[in-house]
Amino acid sequence: MKINVKVLPLFIAFLLEVLFYSVCKNYLPAKINPIFNSALSIFIVVYAWKLWQQNDLEEASFILLSKNNLTFLKITTVVLALLVLIYFSVFFKSEPIDIKRSDIIPVIQQYYLDRLFNGEFVYTSVDRGTYQWTPNYFPMHWLPFTISNFLHFDHRLLALGVLILVIIFYSFKIINKSQSIGDAFVKLILPYTIIFFMRYDNKIILGHCVETLICSYYFLFSINIFQGNTFAKSLGLSSILLSRFSIVLWTPFYIVSSFLKEKRATIFLCIYSIVFALTLFIIPFLLKDPTIVFKGFEGFTDVYLLEWKGQSWQAPGDNPYQLFNGLGFANYFYSFWPGELVNKIHAIVSVQLLANILVPVLSFLFMKRFSRNTGIERYQLLTLKICLLAFYAFIVVPYQYLFMVPLFVSVSIVSQFNLFLNCAMKQST
């Protein structure tokens, strides 16, 4: 077994990406770290594309792991998952939900779950004194918690549990095509590096948020881009679109590019996705009030203003904590864009929208050229990473937990390459 030096920079870049979104995010100045993070994301995309372009990558001609090794790795996968769940079960008990630290879970409980279980319409507007607020979480952001609510266990455990299930699914896919134990083990721990570095840096991320549920959707979708089951793809894609709008503008590119390659599978993917949308959102909620999406968006500016004015514990005149935590370019707009806060917010929203329009348009225009040797699925995965970079780099309030999502997509990219190779492998011709 030897290290594949050609792909080593890719794994190093991933580790740096995880570190500088978590424990190292304040090692660089607040205006420099977003540039460094963006450069790492671009490097991962470009370097992966370059590797896929090469025809001399070392790969196995026929050697895979023995049955005993496969069994050992699968048992290790399940044991590792159980240990992580046990650790966080204890952690959650020691870290009770506190609305002063984050209102995400209390809001889901009060305005979504309680209303649903009481037979009320979930998306009824709420009078918050200075403005009317309409619940703006899409169904897959809160609907899975009906299970934990009904069975009376911790919502955080459900969110993490769903992600762990997807990680197990990913791990089994990795194991079945692995060519060395070392390579398989490295790939098995990649998702857990994100979880534990985020936990180590800021216990609020996993202790008071449910972003692990959202991560599971992106991870499920991205790992199934490569010859994945059509139903699994549609489940991942539908869950993403019914939880957050980050890839709404990228989705048409994905559908069209997939259709050009596999018409029948893409038609079924669309049918499944439409059924999910009708069942989970359109029929039970949107038909009752077609304006709920627009009302939800209207309330965002008021929420943004609260964060852009700084935290209650900050001294007057201090830079807003969430904007200057080393993540995202919001602090640039706060510092340099002229006008009142609302003008600055509208500016970054416009730039974010423009960036998320340009990415799928350019992806489609350059698809034939850049997917020629890599294959359309690889190209789709790389453009997905760029799409998420455009969305999160210009997000209005760069909460740290949000950046877990693009990190899991990085796992899907990096895991396509073998860091360790068997000595029996030979140069492909």
pLDDT tens by residue, 335-369: 999 999 999 999 999 999 999 999 999 999 999 88
First-to-last alpha carbon distance for the chain, in angstroms, is: 21
Q: What is the model's pLDDT at position 32?
A: 96
Q: What is the model's pLDDT at position 178?
A: 82
Burial, 287: exposed, middle or buried (Cβ in 10 Å; 0-12, 13-18, 19+)?
A: exposed
Round to whole Å and give the CA distance between 287 and 36. Answer: 45
319: tokens are 């830079």
Q: What is the model's pLDDT at position 312?
A: 78
Count of CA atoms in the C-beta half-sphere (13 A) of 42: 9
Neighbours of 169 (CB within 10 A): 17
pTM exceeds 0.85, yes or no? yes
For the cut 80, the answer to whether the pLDDT of residue 60 exceeds it is no
pLDDT bucket at 55, cuts 50 / 70 / 90: low
Q: What is the model's pLDDT at position 218?
A: 97
Round to whole Å and give the CA distance between 411 and 31. Answer: 26
For the cut 50, the answer to whether the pLDDT of residue 426 exceeds it is no
DSSP 315: P
Percent of the chain with pLDDT over 90: 72
The string of pLDDT tens digits covering residues 104-138 is 999 999 999 999 999 999 999 888 766 678 898 99
Mean pLDDT of the chain: 90
Q: What is the model's pLDDT at position 130?
A: 66
pLDDT bucket at 315, cuts 50 / 70 / 90: confident
Q: How many residues does the chain have?
A: 429
Q: What is the model's pLDDT at position 191?
A: 97
Q: What is the model's pLDDT at position 345?
A: 95
For the cut 70, the answer to whether the pLDDT of residue 236 exceeds it is yes
Q: Identity (one letter) of the amino acid at 253?
A: F
The answer to whether 94 and 88 have CB atoms below 8 angstroms apart is no
The string of pLDDT tens digits covering residues 375-417 is 899 999 999 999 999 999 999 999 999 999 999 999 999 999 9
Report the Cα 191 to chain-centroid distance in Å: 12
Task: Give which of 405, 411, 351 is closest to 210, Cα–Cα.
Answer: 405
Domain ranges of the chain: 2-427
Which distant-in-sequence residues (6+ apart) come within 8 Å of 308 by Cβ? 320, 323, 334, 341, 344, 345, 397
Q: What is the model's pLDDT at position 62?
A: 46
Residue found under tokens 């209303």: 115
